[in-house]
Amino acid sequence: MSSRIPFYDVARIADGRADDRCADLRRVLASGRFVFGPELAGFERELARLVGVEHAFGVKSGTDAIILGLEALGIGPGDEVITTPFTYIATVEAIVRTGAVPVLADVAPATLCLDPDACAAAVTPRTRAVVLVHLFGHCGNLDRFLALCRERDLLLFEDAAQALGSTWQDRPLGSFGAAASFSFYPTKNLAALGDAGAVVTPNPAAAERLAQLRRHGRDDSGRHVRWGWNSRLDEIQAAFLRRALPGLAADTARRRALAARYDAAFDGVVTVLQPAPGCDSCRHQYAILTPERDRLRAFLAERGVETACYYPTPVHREPVLARAGLTFRNAERAAREILNLPIRPSLADTEQDLVIELVLESVRE
């Protein structure tokens, strides 16, 4: 077999939609409105409806969405915010950028999402919020976190960068927290043609602050009432995102079908990371775990199958944090053993069959 199976195929965003994209671009160009126009307003309405939350704000990136979302909830210097070390660095970086102190707690081995017991043990009198990361589109047991946050009077924030289209007990992820963030980076399930993100909240006071924060602290009357940021989602990106939104459900269905085929093939042979019962994941990534990860990855690469490791280094082992000398056994083991297999919606059954065959061949060696 000489065919190559790429992990992502970001360029295919335009496949079959190139004419639509050009029409979007012409429409925005003709309008002369490039910032804060009808495309952004339309996208925000459509996203809010999809997630089932009253207020949505397009911003520059998923990272900005976390920073602005936490700030809008009043998180800042003097506060502690608990989150997971098994995430993209942006989650922890965003907490740092609000002026709050990130407090890491280990993940649960079954989900690789934040462990509710470890999270509860990390609460101090200074803790103000918990940032959950819905890793690969999965969530842990949300009921546990909702109860913990209620009992200890903490704010729940969802980093849903990977989880657009996922549900917990049939309700969309991103609709449980005091606020939630999404990313539309080109490799995410809903892709912009560059950086883009959004933050959603059911809370009218937080919504008012968000509208100001992304626009230099400007209020509706044009006065500047707080220090803000420049974090606006351009009309062109908003138009492209609106164009992609109607296809999200079909893409998610395809990802779920691919996950089910992997699950069936690997049952009893390969350790598969599964969402918690109650979570219907959008399957942003599909992950298996094996101590032979590096050997398996090389075996697949030699045969043209591209894979990925999310994440090879837990955040607390990155140089920027390593001095703290933290240890989280479950996150470290996951970083050694995790392997992400291709699950893009364009992956053909025949391509997936080859990936499956090669994985099984390698583990049986």
Q: Give the CA dihedral 7, 346, 184, 186, nearest 10 degrees.
A: 50
Q: Which residues bind ligand PLP (CB under 6 A)?
A: 61-63, 87-88, 90-91, 133, 159, 161-162, 183, 185, 195, 197
Nearest-approach distance from CB 32 to ligand PLP, in angstroms: 28
* Closer of 88 and 266 to ligand PLP (Cβ): 88
Residue closer to ligand PLP by CB (options 1, 320) is 320
Task: Compute the least distance from the CB of residue 182 to ligand PLP, in Å.
Answer: 8
Nearest residue (CB) to ligand PLP, 102 versus 359:
102
Q: How far is the CB of 114 from ligand PLP (least distance, A)?
A: 12
Q: How far is the CB of 93 from ligand PLP (least distance, A)?
A: 9
If the CB atoms of residues 185 and 266 are measured against ligand PLP, the closer one turns out to be 185
The nearer residue to ligand PLP, 40 or 270, going by C-beta atoms, is 40
Angle, vertex CA 140, rays to CA 336 and CA 269, nearest 5:
50
- Shorter beta-carbon distance to ligand PLP: residue 71 or 195: 195
Minimum distance from residue 64 beta carbon to ligand PLP (Å) = 7
Closest distance to ligand PLP from the beta carbon of 82 (Å): 15
Compute the least distance from the CB of residue 38 to ligand PLP, in Å: 23
| Residue among 195 and 235 whose Cβ is closer to ligand PLP | 195
**Is the Cβ of residue 98 or residue 162 nearer to ligand PLP in the bound state?**
162
In angstroms, give the least distance from the CB of 88 to ligand PLP: 4
| CA distance readout (Å), 42 to 114, 165, 191 | 34, 19, 17
Q: Give the shortest CB-267-to-ligand PLP separation in angstroms.
A: 28
Other CB atoms within 10 Å distance of the CB of residue 220: 8
Residue number of the CB closest to ligand PLP reads 62
Nearer to ligand PLP, 88 or 145 (CB): 88
The span from the CA of 243 to the CA of 250, in Å, is 14
